[in-house]
Amino acid sequence: MTTTTVDAVEKSATRVSGLNRWDSPWLNPKFLTGMGMVLFVALMGVIGPLFWDADLARVASSPQNLPPPWAPGYEQIVEKEISGVSISDSAETSTTSPSSGSMTGGNPLAPKAESGGSSMTGGNPLAPKAESGGSSMTGGNPLAPKTESSSGSMTGGNPLAPANTPAKDTASDTTAATSTVRPNVRATASNPYGFGAPSWEHPLGTESNGRDMLAVLIVGAPRSLRVGLIAAGIGMLVGIFLGFSAGFMGGWVDNVIRTISDAVITIPSLAVLIVISAYVRSVSVENMALLLALFAWPGPTRLIRAQVLTMRERGYVQMARLSGASRFDIMFREMMPNLMPYLAASFTGNVSGAILAATGLEALGLGPTRIPTLGMTIFYAIRAAAILRGMWWWWGIPIAILVVIFSGLFLMTIGLDEIANPRLRGAQQK
Amino acid sequence: MGGLTPKYVLRRLGMWVLTIWLGATIIFIVPRLAPGDPVAAMVSRMLNQAGYVEGAAEMIEAWRARFGLDGPILVQYFKYLRSVLTFDLGYSLSSFPSRVDEMVIDALPWTVGLLSLATLISFVLGNLIGAMMAWRRTPNWARNLLPVTLTFTSIPFFMFGILLIYFFAFGLRWFPPSGAYKSSIPMGWNLPFILNVIHYGTLPALSIVVTSMGFWALGMRGMMITNDGEDYMILAEAKGLPPHRVFWSYGMRNSILPQITALALSLGAIAGGSTLVEYIFAYPGMGYLLYLGIVNTDYTLIQGIVFILIMGTATAVLILDLLYPLIDPRITYGK
């Protein structure tokens, strides 16, 4: 479907020179920008595996972002955190201290031994201690924190020294404290150890199941695009068939098709899809696309029907009819080229709709569980309260990629709309 | 009242019935095509938890009878249609003694309130922005500023909701991240509670308004541009009518009608998208209930909620369709 669109459009663009941005999508800045954004995501899936190990998208292939309690250095880190709280109390930021205290308490403990151990080897907290004597880790002594924290904030062991920077809040204190321990990792008040945060080994961070986010993107993003393309493609084919049937045959066929497509279009498709996938549970990417296609056809059907009705009585169609062209020829050689801009706009819109529905289902935990997808990553992030733990990379990066996809498709749709619908150009011409 | 002929009303009512019937049939048939038996799965889960359940086989049979899962499929289907027509949505599988209809009735006001307010605000704001974008007399600063409001148009509701939670609930702590009201404030129609509900509802509503506004703005802009070239607009200006009158009574009045059709068509999508918003914000409406149903594999609850959602959107579309001829006197249906 897309290839024919592209071919036809390309031909018309090369044939006539002196076109403006409303004649060909290849001259329309909105369409081109959108196309670039979508291609960027698609290319990421193609080229990405050459530069980055896509196997890291598997569970437990990367450090998990939770510290196990038996990991070496865990206790010291906890004490560091306590010290951070105590100094923030003395620095009259009492409003922030309960929050950071609750973060310490609320930090879930990772159950897996091997991968947990590996997470600690990534940034071994004991190694820097050996190097720099200044950051004194005083064993298990609970009374030591004051000196520790002051050394953490680089003031040379004097507990009262923070007086020259009294407004320091918990976040910067813990950052300073942990940065001496794990130099690669950025810690914040809500994620005090900075576990899983972007680092040199894992540029986009890792998540609790031990997946590398960059690898998840490389594997997941093209999948989302594919679901959208398959679903919208099937919806388009069905829509073309039904739309032409309704527009050409008229009578009861038209009535039935129009009524049913009007009815289906008002059903909240996402809700029905939720029922279906709640029963089917383990859906593959392809099955999901088929499910989504169930609700992708009424749009194109309505559009094509309306256009066919207006075209049917146009001169060139009547001419073709008089010269004995078959019905099939009239449909596909006379009408189809004129429908192209509409179809293309509707197609990109549908792709976006299908991806939206797919990510929605996945975000509810109803997607494929074995393969990483962007939506499932968001689901895991929400379930692990990553938003409130400040692990922005976990949910933020999939969302950023999805936003690129959606914005790209949206720009393409708008650009194609401008070509199909001369009315929309008005304001710019003035 | 010119356009509201009995034939038109009957046709619309027919569409309403058809939509609901189609939706109900889909959610009846598809689960039965899928492998697996919900009741058996349910009982086996209980077995896993309790170790041993007395008379598991009898229990399965009894529950099948209760949930209408016995007998030939046609009989099941008609039983199902009858129960749906009488709003008898059965018992919840996961919280057994409570009925699905009761759970839905508890959740419904939250959803209806959030959704109708958010849609209304986004519709009004979006149309205003779109009209201003196309209006020639719009001052330049506004003309440059308006497109900025459409930045988030293509982002799905719930993803924008996540961003809002991160920045305004987690970062700035201006708004609560989840829920619909503070449990320490007693429920009731008093000022503190209403203010509290507004405080909690701001972020969910905002995530719907900001992301859906652009859709209306773009449609409105297209309509206004078309209208601008019409003879009646030129005449209105030539007559020397004040600009605001030309804008409201001539431009907006004529452009708003196709927008209402578009609203009717997109209500289903809005309702679907808002279930995810409720899930993200743990807002105690239908969407969150649906999520709980999924988590607990509570099939009767899921089916009941989805049926109510289909019914609700179909009814909203019906109301819009019936209002349409009243708003647009030019259209007469049925001839």
Tell me what pLDDT residue B125 has: 92
Interface of A with B in 378-407 (CB under 8 A): 378, 382, 387-388, 390, 392, 395-396, 399, 402-403, 406-407
Region B53-73: mean pLDDT is 68
Judgement on whether residues A181 and A312 belong to the same structural domain of the protein: no
Q: How many CB pairs under 8 A join A and B?
A: 158
Nearest CA in chain B to A400: B159
Tell me what pLDDT residue A111 has: 37
pLDDT in tens, A22-81: 667 777 888 888 888 889 888 888 887 777 777 777 666 666 555 544 444 555 545 544
Chain B: closest CA distance from residue A247 (Å): 20
Judgement on whether residues A243 and A333 belong to the same structural domain of the protein: yes
Domain count, chain A: 2
* Total-model pTM: 0.73
Chain A: closest CA distance from residue B56 (Å): 22
CB contact under 8 A, B15 and A423: no
- Name the DSSP class of A347: H
Which domain CATH number covers A292?
A: 1.10.3720.10
Judgement on whether residues A149 and A246 belong to the same structural domain of the protein: no
CB contact under 8 A, B154 and A403: yes
* Among A33, A264, A274, the residue to mutate for chain B (most B Cβ within 10 A): A274
Question: Is the Cβ of A290 closer than 8 Å to some Cβ of chain B?
Answer: no
Does a structural domain hold residue A139? yes
Does a structural domain hold residue A18? no
Tell me what pLDDT residue B205 has: 92
Judgement on whether residues A395 and A265 belong to the same structural domain of the protein: yes
Chain A: closest CA distance from residue B190 (Å): 30
Burial class (CB in 10 A: 0-12, 13-18, 19+), A312: middle
Question: Is the Cβ of A267 closer than 8 Å to some Cβ of chain B?
Answer: yes
Chain B: closest CA distance from residue A279 (Å): 6
Which of A423, A413, A265 lies closest to B255 in space, CA to CA?
A423
Of A266, A280, A406, nearest to B267 by CB-CB distance is A266
Give the domain-ending residue among A188, A211, A231. Answer: A188
Alpha-carbon gap, residue B320 to B335, rounded angstroms? 20
Backbone φ, ψ for residue A206 (5° rounding): -130, 170
Chain B: closest CA distance from residue A401 (Å): 11
Tell me what pLDDT residue A153 has: 34
Judgement on whether residues A321 and A367 belong to the same structural domain of the protein: yes
Nearest CA in chain B to A402: B155
Residue A212 in 3-state DSSP? strand
pLDDT in tens, A152-163: 333 333 333 333
Tell me what pLDDT residue B55 has: 65
The model's confidence at residue B118, banded by pLDDT at 50, 70 and 90, is very high
Q: Is the dihedral of CA B263, B268, B272, B275 positive or negative?
A: positive
Judgement on whether residues A180 and A215 belong to the same structural domain of the protein: no
CB contact under 8 A, B306 and A274: yes
What is the Cα A184 distance to its own chain's centre?
26
Tell me what pLDDT residue A215 has: 82
Of B19, B159, B290, nearest to A267 by CB-CB distance is B19
Question: Is the Cβ of A237 closer than 8 Å to some Cβ of chain B?
Answer: no
Asked whether the predicted pLDDT for residue B221 surpasses 90, the reply is no
A5 within 8 A of A347, measured Cβ to Cβ: yes
Region B231-248: mean pLDDT is 88
Computed on alpha carbons and rounded to an integer, the radius of gyration of chain A in Å comes to: 29
The model's confidence at residue A282, banded by pLDDT at 50, 70 and 90, is low
The model's confidence at residue A238, banded by pLDDT at 50, 70 and 90, is very high
Region B48-57: mean pLDDT is 64
Lowest-confidence pick of A58-62, A227-231, A345-349: A58-62
A228 within 8 A of A406, measured Cβ to Cβ: no
Lowest-confidence pick of A142-146, A243-247, B114-118: A142-146
Please list the residues that pair with B99 across neighbouring strands: B91
Judgement on whether residues A55 and A153 belong to the same structural domain of the protein: no
Please report the ipTM that was assigned to this predicted complex: 0.81
Does a structural domain hold residue A19? no
Question: In what helix (H) or strand (E) does residue A139 lie, and over which residues does it extend?
Answer: none
Structure tokens at A396: 């933020």
Structure tokens at B248: 């409201």
Does a structural domain hold residue A2? no
Judgement on whether residues A84 and A64 belong to the same structural domain of the protein: no
B162 within 8 A of A412, measured Cβ to Cβ: no
Asked whether the predicted pLDDT for residue A428 surpasses 80, the reply is no
CB contact under 8 A, A365 and B295: yes
Does a structural domain hold residue A5? no
Region B48-73: mean pLDDT is 67
Structure tokens at B258: 């196709």
Tell me what pLDDT residue A160 has: 38
B219 within 8 A of B262, measured Cβ to Cβ: yes
Chain A hits for B158, Cβ within 8 Å: 360, 363
Region A143-171: mean pLDDT is 36
Does a structural domain hold residue A136? yes
Q: Which residues lie below 8 Å from residue B295, measured CB to CB, with a gap of 6+?
A: A365
Question: Is the Cβ of A264 closer than 8 Å to some Cβ of chain B?
Answer: yes
Tell me what pLDDT residue A138 has: 34
Chain B hits for A387, Cβ within 8 Å: 162, 165-166, 170, 177
Q: Is the backbone of residue A107 left (phi > 0), alpha (psi -120 to 50) or beta?
A: beta
pLDDT in tens, B161-183: 888 888 888 888 888 888 778 77
Judgement on whether residues A273 and A422 belong to the same structural domain of the protein: yes
Does a structural domain hold residue A232? yes
Chain B hits for A270, Cβ within 8 Å: 269, 272-273, 275-276
Alpha-carbon gap, residue A154 to B90, rounded angstroms? 66
Q: What percent of chain B has pLDDT over 70?
A: 86
Of residues A174 and B259, which shows the higher confidence score?
B259
Judgement on whether residues A87 and A145 belong to the same structural domain of the protein: yes
Give the domain-ending residue among A138, A163, A188. Answer: A188
Region B184-191: mean pLDDT is 77
Chain A: closest CA distance from residue B120 (Å): 18
Judgement on whether residues A36 and A124 belong to the same structural domain of the protein: no
Chain B hits for A282, Cβ within 8 Å: none
A21 within 8 A of A394, measured Cβ to Cβ: no
Q: Where are the alpha helices (DSSP H) in A267-391?
A: 269-280, 285-293, 298-311, 315-322, 327-329, 336-363, 374-383
Tell me what pLDDT residue A143 has: 36
Share the mean pLDDT of chain B: 82
B327 within 8 A of B260, measured Cβ to Cβ: yes
A88 within 8 A of A165, measured Cβ to Cβ: no
Lowest-confidence pick of A22-26, B49-53, B195-199, B330-334: B330-334
Tell me what pLDDT residue A219 has: 84
Burial A77-100 (b: 16+ CB within 10 A, else e): bbbbbbbbbbbbeebebeebbeeb
CB contact under 8 A, A360 and B156: yes
Structure tokens at A413: 């749709």
Alpha-carbon gap, residue A320 to B309, rounded angstroms? 48
Which of A407, A402, A378, A373 lies closest to A391 in space, CA to CA?
A378
Residue A390 in 3-state DSSP? coil
Tell me what pLDDT residue A114 has: 34
Asked whether the predicted pLDDT for residue A121 surpasses 50, the reply is no
- Domain that includes residue A36, residue range: 25-72+203-429
Lowest-confidence pick of A243-252, A275-284, B231-240: A275-284
Does a structural domain hold residue A410? yes
In three-state form (DSSP H/G/I as H, E/B as E, the rest C), the secondary structure along chain B is CCCCCHHHHHHHHHHHHHHHHHHHHHHHHHHHHCCCCHHHHHHHHHHHHHCCCCCHHHHHHHHHHHHCCCCCHHHHHHHHHHHHHCCCCCECCCCCCCEHHHHHHHHHHHHHHHHHHHHHHHHHHHHHHHHHHHCCCCCHHHHHHHHHHHCCCCCCHHHHHHHHHHHHHHHCCCCCCCCCCCCCCCCCCCHHHHHHHHHHHHHHHHHHHHHHHHHHHHHHHHHHHHHHCCHHHHHHHHCCCCHHHHHHHHHHHHHHHHHHHHHHHHHHHHHHHHHHHHHHHCCCCHHHHHHHHHHCCCHHHHHHHHHHHHHHHHHHHHHHHHHHHHHCCCCCCCC
Give the domain-ending residue among A188, A221, A238. Answer: A188
Tell me which residue has tokens 């829509």. A239
Tell me what pLDDT residue B181 has: 81
Chain B hits for A409, Cβ within 8 Å: 154
Share the mean pLDDT of chain A: 68
Q: Is the backbone of residue A123 left (phi > 0), alpha (psi -120 to 50) or beta?
A: beta
Region A358-373: mean pLDDT is 82
Region A387-414: mean pLDDT is 85
Cβ count within 10 A of residue A254: 16
Asked whether the predicted pLDDT for residue B328 surpasses 90, the reply is no
Question: Is the Cβ of A427 closer than 8 Å to some Cβ of chain B?
Answer: yes
Alpha-carbon gap, residue A267 to A290, rounded angstroms? 17
Judgement on whether residues A274 and A417 belong to the same structural domain of the protein: yes
Region A173-199: mean pLDDT is 50
Backbone φ, ψ for residue B327 (5° rounding): -80, -40
Question: Is the Cβ of A369 closer than 8 Å to some Cβ of chain B?
Answer: no
Of A259, A388, A399, nearest to B159 by CB-CB distance is A399
Alpha-carbon gap, residue A188 to B166, rounded angstroms? 14
